[in-house]
Amino acid sequence: MSEGLESEPLYMDGDYLNEYYDNDYPEPLWETVEDSDPTDDPAFSDHDQPWKMNHSLEEILEYCVQPTVRDAGLHIGKVVLWAGLFRLATQLSPSIRPWMRHTMAVITGLIAAAHFFYTNVAYLVCLACLSYLVLVVSHGIWGHWRGPLMTVTCLGFNLVAEFWLATPVDWHQIRGAQMILTMKMISLGFDFDRENQRLLKADREIDAAQAAVSATADSVAPGLRMRDRRAKRVPSPTNSTEASQNNSDQFQVDYRRRPTFFEHMGYAINPGTTVFGPWITYHDYMASFHRPKWNLTWLVKIVLCIVYGFMFLTISTCWNPWMIPDGVWRWWTAYRDAMSFRASHYFVSYISEATAVAAGFGLGEAGDWNLQVVHPHNIEVPRSLTEVVKSWNIPMHVWLKTYCFKVTRRFGTLVAVLTTYLASTMLHGLNFQLGAVLLSLGIYTFAEFKLRARLAEILQASVHASRVWGQKFKYPEGSMVSISINFIFGMLACFNLAYLGVMFNQDASMHLSSKDLFGFACHRFVIPQRHSNFGLHAALCAKINSNHRLCDPYNIFTTKPCKHLFLENKMVVGRRWVLKNHFDGVPKKEDFEIVSEELGDLEDGDIITETEFISVDPYQRPYSRTLTPPTTMMGSQVAKVIESKDPNFPVGSRVVSHTGWVERAKINPSKLAGARGLSGLTKAPEIGSLSPSLLLGACGMPGNTAYFGFLEICEPKKGENVFINGAAGAVGSLVGQIAKIKGCKVVGSAGTDEKVKWLTEECGFDYAFNYKKVSITEGLEKGFPSPAGIDCFFENVGGPDSSVVLSRMNTRGRVSVCGSISTYNDQEVTMAPSVQGSLVTKELKMEGFLVPRWKSRWNEGIIQMAQWIKEGQIKPKETILNGFEKTPEAFIGLFTGDNMGKMVVQVGKQ
């Protein structure tokens, strides 16, 4: 869809472009009122038509089912392979030393995780190491508080990582794996607490029994008695993985002994459960090394799980949208959308079963592999919502019941239910809508459970939320009364499933954060489309790598095809901020809308960029009047090339481009126009270790505006007096520091006391004043006491005050007119005192400029500014907001004084 981007007037002819960079001005800019009727965006015309069932079965098989299964197999196969290799390497030979087994678990687990998360696996490693540190410290000091301490540690780490350490994209990618790891660490702490309390209780009972034995027994040495009784009760305190030499088939973990670092890390990060889950206990992990069972059932279980998983993947991605197209009854499409989500969940659940079994987890006592993560039948044909919740993710249900519900049940059943759902919400991240949905599910499930129990008691009918076995009823399970009531509640559960799908379809921000609802996620495989829609099912069609993305042929909630339906799997999806209408007074967030789109195939000469930083500037407000909404909001950015068919811009190149407020963009560099002859896209100049964000400020257009506009026009000399209005803006603050480098005396005006303090204490201004508190005449007199005058005046503001400045100029003074921002939104011509008298009598030179005048020397200014910054002679100031979603907020902040220096939005993690 980049055609729409390239055809829009993203940048005009460049008039006044540099005038708007200085955002410290005396009057608000809310005067202009623009009337414009929004028009349809042609870039989305192909997506706005309902997709009907007009593709043949052969097309579905060839262009959807086959590529989906093929691409899925390439990635899922790697995880299953590493899990199988881990089992082959550690469970074939009993002679392998225990620490080597656990080390192999960590190595293979990290390799599998790195395939999906790349460097974000560091968050997993950090949490695992921090948890072990807590376990070590608390083992001997707070032996009964390891569970609560582990809970606080894991949740605290996740909150810090989510809000301060990781970018939203990175955290969404790793959140599911962090959730599984958090569940492991919390259960580990509580298991050690519980088992130690049980053993201590057993010790007290044995001590009481020993006190009542005969005198003969009392004559036995106390130390020997203690060793004997403990030997009967617990395994040897040697490494528990050596229990394979025991004659007994029953394996027990020695909970009196603290796990070694290798045991702990192997449990935390192993290939069977790290990427997709499921949660397993520490006992399950350790037991996998005890007399491992090798049989054909193991291989059959893996194959069947993969087959079931891929079946549900194709149902969600291909068959479901094909069978139920748009345009039918809205509740039917809502249920279809929810069904697609559920099918994607079944896919991930069965894949998690396959990887866990491949690693050797889930062996039953009878030698069968009975690990189950999900019961699709209980969800698709529900008896109750209670059964849906229990069957949705069986391991997580067990975890919540064991470590949340049972622990808090002594405070009441309702409190236990609410606590359980609160824990589920915390595990999935702090998202209000997700929390509200989970809470509503908890309340409804509890109410349904109580109501049906009461109905069963009154009617003597088998209508409990879960079927009760072995109890006789007046109206048994097959009676018409029981069938009718169970059917009604089952239909209500189906309605809730459709409602769940609609809820998650309404908030795109929620989809990413909750894509792993109730426990599992295909974190690396999320469709970066307009609605992420729990893109678990698209795992294998949308691997999120900046250099390689696949497009899901269908969005599971909108069921609309990609632009090039079935013709090309490889597709990059980007987001952009659209200006919906012209501003009416203060810019508002409602004036913007974020949209997603596929960028289409690359043609010769095209590149795709991924934005790192976006520049927001005051000039964008008045300049937006030349745009025709709805259209991409103008702006420049620093970006990385992630795909390229232009040899001049290879993948990995950093560029400065003028493509507007976009997260990713498809560009033809030779066709993208800039301002006043400047190229619309250039390779980023080399500025060494400095932040790339400076390429939008001190080492970019604002920097060159200050550098050339001041030095070339004002031609300052050592000892001269320089005055700058709007001195705390992106340009004015740099002009003042350049003037100090040239040995001038510098005075400036700004709009707040904080900015005045910054100018004098950090930027080196000799004097600055707040024009809102001090008149221009008084401020100039204090800065340049009579008879001193002004040699150089860098003009940013305009208006009547500028005439006062001209009257204080020295003979043959120079005035560089960068802008007149105080008058830009005046609807009537502003009347100001005549300046001709000062110009003539003082022989002043007054010259306006546009910075593209010096395009042939562009890099000269950037290199010099970067050098001054590295030497500490210039101290650029930036106000940086994190996240592409914050772009309108940053822009609006320019007009409410939220920034100091250059305002920048950081999109990518640096």
Encode pLDDT of 763-792 as tens digits. 999 999 999 999 999 999 999 998 899 999
Buried b (16+ CB within 10 A) or exposed e, 765-780: bbbbbbbeebebeebb
Q: What percent of the chain has pLDDT over 90?
A: 32
pLDDT for position 555: 30
Rounded to an integer, the average pLDDT of 531-551 is: 33
On whether both 312 and 286 belong to a single domain, the answer is: no
On whether both 139 and 278 belong to a single domain, the answer is: yes
pLDDT for position 429: 67
User: Cα separation of 612 and 606, whole Å?
Assistant: 19
Lowest-confidence segment of 47-56, 475-484, 527-536 by average pLDDT: 527-536
Domain assignment present for 39: no
Q: Respond yes or no on whether the N-terminal peptide bond of residue 630 is cis (omega within 30° of 0).
A: yes
On whether both 71 and 184 belong to a single domain, the answer is: no
Domain assignment present for 639: yes
Mean pLDDT over the full length of the chain: 77
Rounded to an integer, the average pLDDT of 644-662 is: 89
Which helix (H) or strand (E) segment holds residue 107: the answer is: helix 98-117
Instruction: Quickly tell me which residue has 């929620």 as its tokens.
Output: 510
On whether both 739 and 865 belong to a single domain, the answer is: yes
Rounded to an integer, the average pLDDT of 654-663 is: 90
Integer angstrom CA distances of residue 657 from 595, 608, 654, 673, 855:
20, 11, 10, 10, 15
pLDDT for position 54: 53
Domain harbouring 611, CATH code: 3.90.180.10
Specify whether the CB–CB gap between 357 and 298 falls below 8 A.
yes
pLDDT for position 142: 58
Tell me phi and psi for residue 376, to 5 degrees. Answer: -60, -35
pLDDT at residue 455 tops 80? yes
Domain assignment present for 1: no
pLDDT for position 588: 87
Lowest-confidence segment of 238-242, 613-617, 842-846, 869-873 by average pLDDT: 238-242
Domain harbouring 750, CATH code: 3.40.50.720
On whether both 263 and 128 belong to a single domain, the answer is: yes
User: Residue 48 CA to chain centroid, in angstroms?
Assistant: 28
pLDDT at residue 516 tops 50? no
Domain ends where: 290, 311, 336?
290
pLDDT: which is higher, 649 or 561: 649
pLDDT at residue 7 tops 70? no
Specify whether the CB–CB gap between 535 and 344 falls below 8 A.
yes
List, in order, residues 6 or more apart from 616 with CB less than 8 Å away: 635, 887, 890, 891, 894, 903, 904, 905
On whether both 86 and 100 belong to a single domain, the answer is: no
3-state secondary structure of 631: strand
pLDDT for position 678: 65
pLDDT for position 452: 92
On whether both 468 and 594 belong to a single domain, the answer is: no
On whether both 676 and 714 belong to a single domain, the answer is: no
pLDDT: which is higher, 4 or 902: 902
Q: Which residues pair with 607 in a beta bridge?
A: 644, 667
On whether both 81 and 109 belong to a single domain, the answer is: no
- Per-residue pLDDT band for 550 (boundaries 50, 70, 90) equals very low
Domain ends where: 464, 489, 509?
509
pLDDT: which is higher, 851 or 56: 851
Residues in the chain: 910
Which helix (H) or strand (E) segment holds residue 769: the answer is: strand 767-770
Integer angstrom CA distances of residue 285 from 199, 266, 289, 579:
21, 8, 8, 54
Nearest to 301, CA basis, from 237, 350, 265: 350
Domain ends where: 459, 477, 509?
509
Rounded to an integer, the average pLDDT of 838-855 is: 88
On whether both 323 and 451 belong to a single domain, the answer is: no
User: Cα separation of 631 and 283, whole Å?
Assistant: 58
Tell me phi and psi for residue 545, to 5 degrees. Answer: -140, 130
Domain assignment present for 104: yes
Per residue in 595-626, pLDDT (tens digit) is 888 888 888 889 999 999 999 887 787 778 77
On whether both 416 and 275 belong to a single domain, the answer is: no
Domain assignment present for 398: no
Q: Which of 43-57, 101-115, 673-687 tops mean pLDDT? A: 101-115
Rounded to an integer, the average pLDDT of 464-484 is: 88
Per residue in 212-267, pLDDT (tens digit) is 665 555 554 555 444 454 444 444 433 333 333 333 346 788 877 889 999 999 99
Rounded to an integer, the average pLDDT of 462-470 is: 87
Specify whether the CB–CB gap between 540 and 530 falls below 8 A.
no
Q: What is the pTM of this model?
A: 0.55
Straight-line distance from the first to the last Cα atom of the chain, in angstroms, rounded to the nearest whole number:
28
- Total domains, the chain: 5
Instruction: Quickly tell me which residue has 């560009």 as its tokens.
Output: 667
User: Cα separation of 457 and 119, whole Å?
Assistant: 57
Domain assignment present for 263: yes
Specify whether the CB–CB gap between 21 and 729 falls below 8 A.
yes
User: Cα separation of 598 and 2, whole Å?
Assistant: 8
Per residue in 367-382, pLDDT (tens digit) is 788 899 999 998 888 9
Locate 810 and state its tokens: 């020295």
Residue 860's CB is within 10 A of a number of other CB atoms, namely 13
User: Cα separation of 734 and 746, whole Å?
Assistant: 12
pLDDT at residue 729 tops 70? yes
- Per-residue pLDDT band for 59 (boundaries 50, 70, 90) equals confident
Q: What percent of the chain has pLDDT over 70?
A: 77
- Per-residue pLDDT band for 436 (boundaries 50, 70, 90) equals confident
Lowest-confidence segment of 36-40, 573-577, 621-625, 827-831 by average pLDDT: 36-40
CA dihedral 900, 904, 907, 910 (to 10 degrees): -70
Quote the domain boundaries for residue 64. Answer: 52-95+292-374
Locate 83 and state its tokens: 């899990």
On whether both 448 and 318 belong to a single domain, the answer is: no
Domain assignment present for 273: yes
pLDDT at residue 724 tops 90? yes
Nearest to 108, CA basis, from 121, 95, 120: 121
Task: Work out whether strand 573-579 and strand 631-632 pair parallel, antiparallel, or are unpaired.
Answer: antiparallel
Half-sphere exposure of 99 (CA within 13 A, CB side): 4
Per residue in 106-117, pLDDT (tens digit) is 999 999 999 888
- Per-residue pLDDT band for 431 (boundaries 50, 70, 90) equals low
- Per-residue pLDDT band for 128 (boundaries 50, 70, 90) equals very high
List, in order, residues 6 or more apart from 768 with CB less than 8 Å away: 727, 747, 748, 749, 750, 755, 756, 759, 760
Specify whether the CB–CB gap between 150 and 191 falls below 8 A.
no
3-state helix, strand, coil in the chain (%, to 5): 50, 10, 35
pLDDT at residue 590 tops 70? yes
pLDDT at residue 360 tops 70? yes
Task: Work out whether strand 790-795 and strand 809-817 pair parallel, antiparallel, or are unpaired.
Answer: parallel
Domain assignment present for 560: no
